[in-house]
Amino acid sequence: MAKSSRLSPQDVEEIFRRFQAANPDPKGELHYLNPYTLLVAVVLSAQATDEGVNRATKPLFAIADTPAKMVALGEDSVRDAIKTIGLFRGKAKNVILLSRQLIDKHGGHVPDDRDALEALPGVGRKTANVVLNIAFGHPTIAVDTHLFRVGNRTGLAPGKTPLEVELKLLKVVPHAYGRHAHHWLILHGRYVCKARKPECWRCLISDICRFKAKTPAPT
């Protein structure tokens, strides 16, 4: 009997059960020291690799791990510190602007609120979702290119836009797995369900996934 193109609630439950069994406490790969440095790191990670951001932020965060310290450091110094990251000029400006706004409007603290986060310079929905999830434990889902691909390929949350995929995932992911769902899916897309050559032969959910052109094991 052919599989339905739609995943059943039982299929979805089994997918996340397997992810949890294999990696009970998944972590993001950006390095940070506190909610503020997490926010800065995520802003810097747009169109850049986590590895590249981590190299740049390690010495930066050693001297500027609060909004006040970052503002005191100044835009020129921030720009020099992150010049190996793509779009570094605009990002340095946003880091200083958002740091000033955190001081002026939030007492130097990162707000646990989506609207307040998205009002900060350089912060969009995806960045806010990452911060809300990692810093404050909300079951948000930040849809990057990896997660967008996994949502569509597997049949978990087919959608034409990142927002569509996000909203569908929020509906189908069982509550018990909401806290870590976005990490499991991003890591799966980054290391197994790759864009050009998905490694289906070592995929935990290959038998459930609705992707038809599964890649055979290398010989």
- Which of the residues are catalytic? 126, 144
**Helix boundaries (H) for the chain:** 9-22, 35-44, 50-63, 67-73, 75-81, 88-106, 114-118, 125-136, 145-154, 162-172, 181-191
- For 9, counting Cβ atoms within 10 Å of its Cβ (0-12 exposed, 13-18 middle, 19+ buried), the class is exposed
Query: Distance between CA 136 and CA 206 in Å, rounded?
Result: 32
Distance (Å, whole) CA 12 – CA 16: 7
In the block, residue with structure tokens 């970052």? 70
